[in-house]
Amino acid sequence: MGEGFVICEYEKVRQEFPEFQTTMNTLKNSLISKASTEWGIPAERFTLESGNLTTVLPACFNDNAGTRMTTWNQWFTATGSQTIMTGAGTGGIIPEDFMVGVCGLAFLDKAIRISEIKMQISEAKLARVNIEEAFVYNKPAVVFEKGYILDQKTGFELVAFVLSQGPQRIKLIGVQANKVKDKLFTTATGAAVV
Instruction: CATH number of the domain at 72, please.
Output: 2.60.120
Mean of all residue pLDDT scores within the chain: 87
Tens digit of each residue's pLDDT (9 = 90 or more) over 20-71: 888 889 999 999 999 999 999 999 999 988 889 999 999 999 999 999 999 9
On whether residue 105 sits in a domain, the answer given is yes
Q: Is residue 183 part of a domain?
A: no
Domain residues for 121? Answer: 5-176
Q: Does a structural domain hold residue 164?
A: yes
Residue 192 in any domain: the answer is: no
Tens of pLDDT, residue by residue over 88-129, are: 999 999 999 999 999 999 999 888 999 999 999 988 888 788
Q: 3-state DSSP call for residue 11?
A: helix
Q: What is the pTM of this model?
A: 0.88
Sorted by sequence, the CB contacts under 8 Å of residue 80 that are 6+ apart come out as: 161, 162
Contact assessment for residue 115 and residue 58, using Cβ atoms and an 8 Å cutoff = no
pLDDT at residue number 188 = 52
Q: How many domains does the chain have?
A: 1
Give 138-150 pLDDT, tens digit per residue: 888 888 888 999 9
Q: What is the Cα–Cα distance from 58 to 17, expressed in whole angstroms? A: 25
Is 185 inside a domain boundary? no
Confidence grade of residue 16 (pLDDT, cut at 50, 70, 90): low
User: How would residue 159 be classed by pLDDT, with cut points 50, 70 and 90?
Assistant: very high
91 lies in some domain: yes
Position 48, amino acid: L
- Mean pLDDT check: name the lowest of 72-81, 134-143, 150-159: 134-143
In angstroms, the CA 145 to CA 21 distance is 11
pLDDT of residue 193: 47
Is residue 189 situated within a structural domain?
no
In a domain, 30, yes or no: yes
